[in-house]
Amino acid sequence: MLLVLGLAACGGGSEPEPSPDVSASASAEPEVEPIFASDEEALSAAVSAVKSYAVVSDAITNEGGTGSDRIREVVTEEYAAELIAEFDAFAKEGVRTEGSSSIDTTSLVSNDDSGSTAIVSIYACIDVSNSTLIGPGGADVTPSDRPLRNPVVVQLEAVPNSKVLLVDGIDPWSGDDFC
């Protein structure tokens, strides 16, 4: 009923003034500042996140896989589920590590920064030369042919509207060894 009354009130009179083009102004999105000011800043944040991941992961494996929920502090929820299953398997086998791993030889693969979130990928070398695998009986069971430096690609995702990056996956690099 209101529509009919509204249409009846529009009859006659002078030509209406054209209204501004609402679709043009509504579709123009405001400029969004990227999370990271530069690729160098994104790489630095990624390296810091991967080093934090290594510290937490080493602590969990040094304790035989117990307390695996701690990994949630440094990885995405999706990746946490995968890692917790791996840590739980580690605990069931009764093995642990001694020592620590380190990260070096890093470089940026990509920085997809939309302003509200960022997806960053880096190349990195994981050095396990300072860690050993200890079996259930307490003996060193580290495979003698284990590579000591491993080239990987690490995917990271920013916490929304934050410069904090969480590890979202670590995959072996199958190309030329850059370590």
108-160: pLDDT as tens digits: 999 998 777 889 999 999 999 999 999 999 999 999 999 999 999 999 999 88
Yes or no: say if 87 and 177 are a contact pair by the CB < 8 Å rule: no
Is 97 within 8 Å of 21 (Cβ atoms)? no
Q: Which two tokens stand for residue 75?
A: 């990885």
Is this prediction's pTM over 0.75?
Answer: yes
CA–CA distance, 175 with 24 (Å, rounded to integer) = 47
* Single-letter code of the amino acid located at 134: I
3-state secondary structure of 105: strand
Q: How many CB atoms lie within 10 A of CB 67?
A: 13
Does 37 score more than 60 pLDDT?
A: yes
pLDDT of the residue at 81: 96
Query: Comparing 138 with 34, which gets the higher pLDDT?
Result: 138
Q: What's the average model confidence in pLDDT over 45-54?
A: 98
- Measuring CA to CA, how many Å separate 85 from each of 49, 54, 81, 160? 21, 17, 6, 26
Could you tell me which of 149, 74, 163 has the C-alpha nearest to residue 105? 149
Domains of the chain are 36-172 (3.10.450.240)
Helix ranges (H only) for 19-76 are 22-27, 39-62
Tell me how far apart the alpha carbons of residues 116 and 134 are, in angstroms, rounded to a whole number: 44
User: Contact 133/142 with Cβ under 8 angstroms?
Assistant: yes
